Amino acid sequence: MFAYQLKKSTRRKTVAIKVHNQNVTVYAPHHVQKKVLDNWLLEKKSWVEAQLQKQLTLVDTKQYPLKDKKIWVFSEAINLTFQQGNTSTVERQQDGLLITVSARVKHQQQKYQLLLEAYLKEQLTAYIEMRLNDFCTLMQEALPNDLNIAVYKRKWGSCNSKRALTFNLLLIGAPHSIIDYVIVHELAHLRHLNHSKAFWQRVAQFCPDYKASTLWLKQHGMSLQWVF
């Protein structure tokens, strides 16, 4: 029997399995006994082992900027040059980005990461602000009250009842068309804070190929992730 992590909750009504990064997690109602879960999992053993094997054979497509000296920006591979200097700066050059860190900085690699992320956040913010204005006009929607950029592991954007939108910084590596889809997706949430039929109809109205975009994100989402 494979090892698994058990998470019980009084709010759950059904049992569920999650296999991620070679870890198996079982979510179950609080009243369900472990012996019952073990017997239930024996029936799922073949499926779980297949998922574990599948994850072992997945090709690692994540980005390693410090190691590979490159990063994807709007689906274009940008070369990175790291060096020490008098000040800490990021400069766009013809052949890529020059990231300079002051020799006085104690944690050099951490500073390289912070500078690079700040530059990428600036680039993504500028693009999203421009396209938000375009799509709000097209969708006859008022501009959101707030715009934030953050790093998420499992979502590309979010919208709340205060009309604040947040976008995943990792989108900076995606094609413009994919970013546009995520923008439309979140703008549609301003009227529908759910994934109802009406929500998807509004998305389709302004992004007819949204299904292709969601598929692209599922297939290439890992390639947008960074490891420093």
Q: What is the pLDDT of residues 101-157, one digit of tens each?
A: 999 999 999 999 999 999 999 999 999 999 999 999 999 999 999 999 999 988 999
Both 172 and 211 in one domain: the answer is yes
Q: List Cβ neighbours of 36 (8 Å cut-off, separation of 6 or more).
A: none
Asked, for residue 13, whether it belongs to a domain, the answer is: yes
Q: Is 25 helix (H, G, I), strand (E, B) or coil?
A: strand
Both 27 and 51 in one domain: the answer is yes
pLDDT of 130 reads 98
To 10 degrees, the CA torsion angle through 202, 207, 213, 214? 0
Where is the domain boundary, 57, 79, 99? 57
Residues paired with 72 in a beta bridge? 77
Distance, in Å, from the CA atom of 28 to the CA atom of 49, rounded to the nearest integer, reads: 20
Distance, in Å, from the CA atom of 186 to the CA atom of 163, rounded to the nearest integer, reads: 10
Per mean pLDDT, which range of 22-26, 71-75, 85-89, 138-142 is the poorest? Answer: 22-26
Going by C-alpha positions, the residue among 210, 120, 200, 212 that lies closest to residue 167 is 120
Confidence of residue 22 (pLDDT cuts 50, 70, 90): confident
Global confidence as pTM: 0.78
Both 177 and 88 in one domain: the answer is yes
Tokens of 54: 């599948």
Both 86 and 50 in one domain: the answer is no
Q: How far is CA 141 from each of CA 110, 132, 189, 190, 204, rounded to the nearest angstrom?
A: 40, 10, 11, 8, 16
Residues of the domain holding 148:
70-221
Number of domains in the chain: 2
Q: List Cβ neighbours of 130 (8 Å cut-off, separation of 6 or more).
A: none
Cα 189–75–211 angle (5° rounding)? 40
Asked, for residue 228, whether it belongs to a domain, the answer is: no
